[in-house]
Amino acid sequence: MKKKQSELIQYLSQQNRTVKSMELANVLQISARSVKNYVSEINLLYDKKIILSSRQGYQINRQLSYNLLLNDHHDSAIPQTGEERAFYIIKQLILEHTSSLDLFELCDYLCISYSTIKSVIAKMNKTFSAYHVEFICKNDCVKIMGSEKDKRRLISYIINEESNARFLDIQQLGECFYHIDVEALHKLLFSTFKRHNYYLNDFAAVNILLQLLILIERNLAGNELNMGETALSIESQSEASLLQELFEQLEGQFLLHLNPYEKFEIHMLIKAHATSSLPASKTELKKLIGNEFLSLTDYYVDQVNSHYLIDLSDERFTTAFTLHLENLILRAKLGRFTNNPLAESIKLNNPIIFDIAIYIGLDLMERYHLSINEDEIAFLAIHIGAEIERQNMSLSKIRTVLLCPNYRDISTELLNSLLFNFGNQLDIIGNVYNENDLKNLSFSLLLTTIPLKHSYGCDVVQISPFNLSAQYNIIYDAILKRQDTDKNKKLRTNFHTFFESDLFFINPEPNNREEIITYLCGILQQKEYVDHDFEASVLKRENAATTAFGNIAIPHSVDMNAVKTSITIAISKSGFQWGGNTVYLIFLLAINKADKTAFRELYESLVSLFGDKNIIQEARACNSFKDFEQLIYNHTCPPKIL
């Protein structure tokens, strides 16, 4: 079964309704015609009406589809796509130490024709050209040509890609490197670093572990590095001791011989990813790394405070962030970036934090004349987000009241349990025993164990005073809804402050990223809301990391330099080409410094609200500014009693 066919069946199996072809096309990123063709192919292939079609859309026979997906899972070990086949061939050539692979045997295993395997290999030479390797077919065999260093870079990329943006763990690495005791290497690494007072975060540890596994696997097969640098520039006695023990442990436990090139690679790996334990004070930190990165951190703290009104001056943050900056610049200079499987999630769920990280990343790239990828930007965001989360733990609590009759101290016990489990999210300002006591209290969320006689204009969750753990999901959902409501309130109450009817466009003529940005920026310039360099600043931000989130894009300037704060909207029924994405809604933000307090709320509200595919469909159906206004009001009104 084709991958898209499987995805089509899986999506329909998750729906309890008829699904229109356009919705399926959007979800699968294919055309409506392809949806129709896939449905026909699935029904024809299995000679059964697995997917039923009507004028209302498509529905699926759940029992038949379950069996189908179950059988398809059993066959999934055989690579199905061109990328999967390429990855299989590369792993066989590099990890299995096969000098060449027989093309006819590959055809038999992959269940494809000879012409198809030749086509796959031809595409591999184009796809992986950046790794300076070549796949050569001769005498009906394929082999890989390139330096040992480039082959190791390529297999590292392949393994990270196969993890499918998930966090690589020891089990996955064990499956790739089954010749090596991965668990033993993991223990060796951590125990050695701990003895020498060096720190590895989880992401850095996995990356070092992966690179060492590749080194050991290739070294044991006689594929040693034979070029590169060999001079170890050791900065301290603790670093020298760590390296000496690590080299001895690796050679002794895995029966290796590490030549000077291999030792240099390990040294660079450690310098780029490991950190000596956090200094106790700023004075110790300055002695450890000098003044350059300390001053840089202070500069970014000032800039973030000025642009975003977020205070990052806490010493716990600045110490860890300064050490991270030093390692990041070293990794960038060496081209040894760490894979970050959380990058897409951070970008989607914490857009303002990611934007602050982009702001810092752009400055670092200009300052040091180097390139920093999105994975590394996301690591900056993790540091910033953790500090903001720590600060907001009390500020963002929801004002809550508990209504529960206190028979046999039930109310007191329930309150204690709520404080223990939800104390970071809820500010419980009152614990009342009857409904009359609610009249003089101001709150956003009411947790009640009894039915209410009156409405209080807030979120209400009725719970049982017993077995609270079974009701955690209900309470947590209420917290999330309340938080979304508070975010979306900004859109509703300030709609006409930020949105204008003559900055609203349906199906504008430009249909790709660069053209639509130029078009929308030009309109803002005509209205004198922005100056002439606004477009260049928007493109600078966009080129650093795309502002597309699913099927929407929120381009904006690096600086809050607009004359007047406004949001320009462009809606396309068929979609704009936005890099590798298709987006249907574009919100071009122009923010004036006077409104910088609103920027964070606006940005997060737009991502939160239009992250829902159903709302995107409603927006695509809008035919006027009035329709769009009604959509915003419909979806940002306060929730009803739960």
Judge whether 175 lies within some domain.
Answer: no
Final residue belonging to a domain, choices 394, 425, 459:
394
If one compares 203 and 569, the residue with the highest pLDDT of the two is 569
Return the top range by mean pLDDT from 17-21, 80-84, 537-541.
537-541
Question: Residues 21-47: what's their mean pLDDT?
Answer: 77
Question: Do 254 and 367 belong to one domain?
Answer: no
Residue 258 main-chain phi, psi, to 5 deg: -95, 110
Whether 522 and 612 map to the same domain: the answer is yes
Taking the chain, what is the end-to-end CA distance rounded to the nearest angstrom? 43
Closest residue by Cα to residue 85 from 118, 114, 110: 110
Kindly state the tokens that stand for 553.
């894009």
Length of the chain: 642
Stretch 281-307: mean pLDDT, rounded?
Answer: 79
Q: Indicate if the pLDDT at residue 90 is higher than 90.
A: yes
Looking at the structure, do residues 511 and 623 belong to the same domain, yes or no?
yes
pLDDT digits (tens, 9 = 90+) for 572-609: 988 998 987 889 999 999 988 777 766 667 777 777 78
Domain-embedded: residue 297: yes
> What are the backbone dihedrals phi and psi of residue 573, each rounded to the nearest 5 degrees, phi first?
-65, -35
142: part of which helix (H) or strand (E)?
Answer: strand 141-145
- Same domain? 527 vs 459: no
pLDDT at 75 over 50: no
- The rounded distance, in Å, linking the Cα atoms of 638 and 320 is 40
Decide the pairing of beta strands 141-145 and 134-138: antiparallel
When pLDDT is cut at 50, 70 and 90, the band that residue 620 belongs to is very high
Q: Confidence class of residue 93 from pLDDT cuts 50, 70 and 90?
A: very high
Asked if residue 483 and residue 515 are part of one domain, the reply reads: no
Q: Is the pLDDT of residue 640 over 50?
A: no
pLDDT averaged over the chain?
A: 82
Do 13 and 113 share a domain, yes or no?
no
pLDDT tens digits along 495-549 = 888 889 999 999 999 888 999 999 999 999 999 999 999 999 999 888 887 888 8
| Mean pLDDT to the nearest integer, 72-90 | 75
Question: Is the pLDDT assigned to residue 164 strictly greater than 70?
Answer: no
**pLDDT at residue 206 tops 70:** yes
Q: Give how far the C-alpha of residue 87 lies from the chain's centroid of Cα atoms, to the nearest Å.
A: 23
Q: Compute the distance between CA of residue 351 and CA of residue 545 in angstroms, rounded to an integer.
A: 12
| End residue of a domain, out of 394, 423, 456 | 394
Domain count of the fold of the chain: 6
* DSSP one-letter string for 579-606: TTEEEEEEEEEEEEGGGHHHHHHHHHHH
Q: What integer pLDDT is reported at residue 224 of this predicted model?
A: 86
- Residue holding tokens 């300055």? 286
CA-to-CA dists, residue 160 to 13, 231, 398, 622, angstroms: 30, 29, 40, 41
Task: Tell me, yes or no, whether 143 lies in a domain.
Answer: yes
Secondary structure of residue 162 in the 3-state scheme: helix
Instruction: Give DSSP secondary structure letters for 519-578.
Output: HHHHHHHHTTSS-TTHHHHHHHHHHHS--EETTEE--B-SS-EEEEEEEEEEEEEEEEEE
441: confidence class by pLDDT, cuts 50, 70, 90: confident
The whole domain housing 313 covers 282-394
Residue 95 lies in a domain: yes
- State the pLDDT confidence band at 165, using cuts at 50, 70 and 90: very low
Question: In the prediction, which pLDDT does 364 show?
Answer: 94
Pair 478, 566 in one domain: no
The pLDDT of residue 635 = 79
Q: In this structure, is residue 479 part of a structural domain?
A: yes
Residues 6+ apart with CB under 8 A from 158: 87, 90, 91
Tell me the CATH number at 365: 1.10.1790
In a domain, 169, yes or no: no
Tokens of 543: 């080129």
**Is 168 within a domain?**
no
Residue 293 has pLDDT above 70, yes or no: yes
Are 522 and 469 found together in one domain? no
Query: 265 is written with which tokens?
Result: 């690679």
Residue 306 forms part of a structural domain: yes
Helix (H) or strand (E) holding 308: helix 292-308
Mean pLDDT of 423-447: 85
CB count within 10 Å of CB 495 equals 15
Q: Is the pLDDT of residue 280 over 70?
A: no
| pLDDT tens, position by position, 302-324 | 888 767 767 788 777 888 788 88
pLDDT at residue 281, as a whole number: 58
Measure the CA–CA gap between 479 and 548, rounded to whole angstroms: 27
Q: Are both 531 and 618 inside the same structural domain?
A: yes
Alpha-carbon distance of 601 to 224, in angstroms, equals 54
Are residues 504 and 631 both part of a single domain?
yes
57: left (phi over 0), alpha (psi -120 to 50) or beta: left
pLDDT, position 121: 94
The answer on 266 and 314 residing in a single domain is: no
The letter for the amino acid at 288 is L
Residues forming beta bridges with residue 19, ordered by sequence position: 58
CATH of the domain at 19: 1.10.10.10
Q: Which of 394, 422, 456 is the last residue of a domain?
A: 394
Let me know whether 428 and 465 are in one domain: yes
Highest mean pLDDT: which range of 28-32, 73-77, 380-384: 380-384
pLDDT band at 639 (very low <50, low <70, confident <90, very high): very low
pLDDT at 427 over 60: yes
CATH number at residue 456: 3.40.50.2300
Q: Which of 345, 358, 336 is nearest to 204 (CA)?
A: 336
**Residue scoring higher pLDDT (282 or 219):** 219
Task: Report the pLDDT averaged over residues 46-75.
Answer: 69
Q: In this predicted model, what pLDDT tens digit does every residue of 359-413 receive, in sequence order?
A: 899 999 999 999 998 888 988 988 888 777 666 554 557 889 999 987 767 888 8
Say how far apart CA 91 and CA 220 lie, in whole Å: 16
Residue type, 289: I
